[in-house]
Copies of this chain bind each other. A is one copy, B any other.
Amino acid sequence: MVRGRGHGRGAWWQDRFHDIGARVTAPREVVIDILHETNDHVSAADVYVKAHEINPSIGLTTVYRTLDMLTQMGIVQKFDVGDGKARYELVNNPDGKKHHHHLICLGCKAIIDYSEFLDDELEYIGKTQNRLSKKYNFTITDHAISFYGFCERCRSG
């Protein structure tokens, strides 16, 4: 781990960028700031709208490219709710959310984070992961648990 570079707030991701030979640019900084400021599961278009408010010269293409790159780096988690557009959220970094999973409403597509009961999860996932990777000769690097159903508002309709 390279140290002595990231001083000051918000420098951690710049270190990560330097480590892989990627440049620190204004559009990238804006995108990451936006991800920091929201607690939501945002689409590329969501990010683009906010980025455009901050700096109208930032294009949608760059938003996509930055989100892809951050996903590749493991800084951002990309996932799908079933409405045709990918969602993104900061995860597993100093300023982002910790390991968690989702409740997804099939009605309004709302996403609820949950990170309770992680000890039970650790036990179950750990054991299962071990057995599966052995049995199927498969290197497991990540997992996702999603519960589907209906939120309070959508339960009536």
Contact = CB atoms under 8 A, between A and B. Distances in A.
A80 interface: yes
Interface residues of A, number: 39
Contacts of A149: 133, 138-142
Contacts of A131: 116-117
B142 A147 contact: yes
Contacts of A103: 132, 136, 138, 140
Contacts of A117: 127-128, 131-132
Given A80-B82, A127-B120, A136 B114 contact: yes
Interface of A: 78, 80, 82, 103, 105-106, 112, 114, 116-117, 120-121, 123-124, 127-129, 131-133, 135-152, 155
